[in-house]
Structures are given as structure tokens and as C-alpha cells.
Copies of this chain bind each other. A is one copy, B any other.
Amino acid sequence: MAKVGLKDIAAQTGYSIATVSHALRNPDRVADATRKKVIAAAEAVGYTPNNLAVSLRTARSGNIVVIIPDIADSHNSNIIKAIEKVARARGYSVLLGDTQGSEAREREFARMTQTRQADGVILMSHRLPFDRKPGLPIDKLPPIVNGCEYAGHDDLPRVYIDDYQAAIDATNHLLDYGHRRIALISGDVETHSTRERLRGFDDAMAAAGVEVDRSLQVRAGYTLEEGIAGATRLMRHREPPTAIFCFSDEIAFGAMYALRDMGHSVPDDVSVMGFDNIPFARYITPPLTTIAQPTAEIGATCAEILLDIIDGKRPETPLRILPHELKVRESTRRISG
């Protein structure tokens, strides 16, 4: 179990280190008998290559790092799972970078690509984790793909849903159900996704000829706690909303909790709409109406693209839009008013 190296098995078989290496990696370039002997010896002594040395030599670490704000968020962890799966299938490991939204941490993790500990990064953030000199071509950057967000670089490969259209779909659903006073608990307005959703909401409302009441909008983070705070504030409005569109299911959970706490019923008094469709969404009480994001597909696609880039294959088109889906469940209700 100690450190056995090529050297040891070379000594044992009488071949040179080079031959042993070949026997193990390029079976064809070596005599049949040799290969067999070497492999047998390797197994006998329990040889495991020192991947550090391999990486140093081949300049490939076999790791990718995924930079993500919060791995405890269901939506994120399911994406990670998908990434992990395809990475593994293609011989890579994933290094986890939970940043808690800190830009410094994002940059720290991205540096692993320069320190050769990682071959590429999947970035679930809206900003590039390193400085890019204006005009520097994309292929001079470390292999990177942007997931769920848009970091402001058009040539950066990225995969996400059509947040604009998704927000329209969500808003239309509420509108269809007769809601007019629709409140919003949004995410970080620094992010492209949030801005797109905001835009979608506005456009849908405008298209329906309903005026948007800005005092019915609260900006938050994607957490449950912020959903509680947001809904609490909203319901204290002198003319409270009949529906709340939350930009994440976690926010929606928090909102539903707060609503119930204040004695309002969902969906009888107020309808709640989520976003993401995390696994719990359909199992809570009442089951949450929401926009489903294809998490598994997002993760898998990000990983495939990144690994392709690492292998030298750039995607033809940087942008990959994946389909979302409106899931109507019981947290929204048709009203007469």
C-alpha cells in the first residue's frame, strides 16, 4: 500500500521504466508477453500511478472546477450531480467551489486553472472570475463555460434557459388566472437572469394592458429567508397583491411560510408562483406552481461543452438555450376579481 512506482515494477520484471510505462499505457507498442508480465507484476504489487506526476508531465490534471454560489441549494446541487456524472464518464473529477456569492472566492477557484490543478471551469455566476484584456480572444482564456448565467461576454460558451420567455409564461399564467396585482420577489438584479425575468414580467404585463405597480416588487436573494422577509413586507402593503411571483422555489417556500404565518391561505388568499422546480416543489403543501428548469440537462450540457473545449473542440455556437416548462400545480388559483 506504500508508494510503488514504475521503477519498482521495472526492477521486479527486469524491464526498463520506459517499457513498463508503455506496457501499461500503449499496450500495442510492446510485445505481448512483455505486456502480460508487466501487468501481472503491476497488479501483484498494487501499483497505482501517481497522477500528479502524470499530470505534470502531460499538462492535464483531469479535474474541472465548478464555481457555484451555494451547493446546498437544491437547484444547484442537482446541476452539480449532472456535471459530476458526465465528468466522471469522460474521466474527469470535479472540484467543488462553493462561493457564497463572493467574487474573491470565485477568482480563487478560477485560479486553479492557472495552477494546473484544474483543466477548466464551469461558472455559475454572472461575472468572469479573472480579468480579460479587451480584445483577448476567447481561446486564450482558460476553458470555461457559463451555466445559468450570462457573464457579459458574447463569445463565452453558455447554457441556460430563456429566462425572458419563462417569466412571460409565468406571468401569463397568473394573468390568465385573473390576477392583476402581481407582486415580485426577485433575485439579484446584478444578474442577467434576473434582469431577463424582470423584463419578461414587464412585457407580459404590458401586453395584457395591466399596469405594473413597482411598490409591489422586492429584490432579494434566492433564499428561503429572503422569501419570508419579502412576503411579509408585501402583505403589509395597504393594497396587497393577490399573487406573488417568486424568482426561485426557495423564495416561494419562504413566502408560503410567511403567508401562512400571517394567517393568509395559499392559494385562496394569495397565489404563489415559484421558479426552478426543485424536487420538493411538487411535494409541499400546496404543491408549487413553478417554472421547471432542466437541471440535469443544464449540468450535462455544461460539462460536455467544457470537456469538448478542453479537448480542443469549440462549440459552433456559444449559446445553448434549453427548454423550460410551466408546471401548474396548486399554489396558484383562478380568481374572479
Q: Which of B1, B80, B117, B136 contacts A93 (CB 8 A)?
A: B117
Question: Which residues of chain B are within 8 angstroms of A96 by Cβ–Cβ distance?
Answer: 80, 84, 94-96
Give how many A residues have a beta carbon under 8 Å from the other chain's beta carbons.
47
How far is B96's CA from A72's CA once the two chains are assembled, in angstroms? 13
* Interface stretch (choices A23-31, A48-56, A232-240, A313-321): A48-56
> Nearest Cβ in chain B — how far from A261, in angstroms?
10
Question: Which residues of chain B are within 8 angstroms of A15 by Cβ–Cβ distance?
Answer: none
Q: Which chain A residues in 268-318 approach chain B with CB under 8 Å?
A: 279-280, 283-285
How far is B95's CA from A280's CA once the two chains are assembled, in angstroms? 27
The answer to whether B94 touches A48, judged by C-beta atoms less than 8 angstroms apart, is no
Task: Check: A248 CB closer than 8 A to any chain B CB.
Answer: no
The answer to whether B51 touches A117, judged by C-beta atoms less than 8 angstroms apart, is yes
Task: Check: A41 CB closer than 8 A to any chain B CB.
Answer: no
Question: Which residues of chain B are within 8 angstroms of A61 by Cβ–Cβ distance?
Answer: 52
The answer to whether A279 touches B224, judged by C-beta atoms less than 8 angstroms apart, is yes
The answer to whether B280 touches A51, judged by C-beta atoms less than 8 angstroms apart, is no
Q: Which chain A residues in 69-108 approach chain B with CB under 8 Å?
A: 70-72, 74, 77-78, 80-81, 84, 93-96, 98
Question: Which residues of chain B are within 8 angstroms of A283 by Cβ–Cβ distance?
Answer: 224, 228, 253-254, 257
How far is B254's CA from A161's CA once the two chains are assembled, in angstroms? 29
How far is B69's CA from A81's CA once the two chains are assembled, in angstroms? 11
The answer to whether A95 touches B93, judged by C-beta atoms less than 8 angstroms apart, is yes
Q: What are 25 of the A-B contact pairs (CB < 8 Å)?
A: A1-B140, A48-B114, A48-B115, A51-B115, A51-B116, A52-B55, A52-B56, A52-B117, A53-B56, A56-B56, A63-B95, A63-B117, A70-B81, A71-B80, A72-B77, A72-B279, A84-B98, A93-B112, A95-B95, A96-B96, A224-B279, A253-B283, A257-B284, A280-B280, A285-B285
Tell me the A residues contacting B by CB distance below 8 Å: 1, 48-53, 55-56, 61-63, 70-72, 74, 77-78, 80-81, 84, 93-96, 98, 111-112, 114-117, 136, 140-141, 224, 228, 253-254, 256-257, 260, 279-280, 283-285
